[in-house]
Amino acid sequence: MSSFSHSCTQLTGIMGARLGDAAGLAALAAGAASAAGLTPYGPPVLHSGPKGTVVAVLCHGGHLILHIEPDAGRCLVDIVAATPNAASRATDALAKRLNAEGHH
C-alpha cells in the first residue's frame, strides 16, 4: 500500500501580470499536475475574489491547488500525490513557468 506525500511551497517574486491571467493560470496548473504524474478528473476549478485567485486541479490520487496573490507577487502551491517526487516536479515546473525568484 502506498502512502500519500504532501507539499506546500510558496513561490515569490512573481510579476503581478502573470498572476492576473486566470485562463493562463488554469492551463499552467493543469500542466503542472501532468508534470507530477497526476490524472485530473476534469478541468481546473477557478475562483477569484478581492484578495486573489484559487485554482484547483482535483486528480485521481491527489490534487494540486494554487492560492494566488497577484498584488503580493506570490503563489502558494499545495500538492498531494501518491508518489514521492511528484510535488517537487510540479513545483519546479510552476516556478520555471512563472519566473519565480524564490520558493520555500
Q: Is the pLDDT of residue 47 over 80?
A: yes
- What is the share, in percent, of the chain residues with pLDDT greater than 90? 56
pLDDT tens figures, 51-95 = 899 999 999 989 999 999 999 999 999 999 888 778 888 888 899
Q: Check which CATH number belongs to the domain holding 50 and give it.
A: 3.60.90.10
Residue 39 has phi, psi (to 5 degrees) of: -110, 110
* Cα gap 50→41, rounded to integer Å: 28
* Cα gap 71→18, rounded to integer Å: 11
The model's confidence at residue 45, banded by pLDDT at 50, 70 and 90, is very high
Provide the domain count of the chain. Answer: 1
The model's confidence at residue 1, banded by pLDDT at 50, 70 and 90, is very low
- Which residue range is the domain that position 39 belongs to? 5-103
* Cα gap 43→75, rounded to integer Å: 20
Question: Is the Cβ–Cβ distance between 83 and 5 less than 8 Å?
Answer: yes
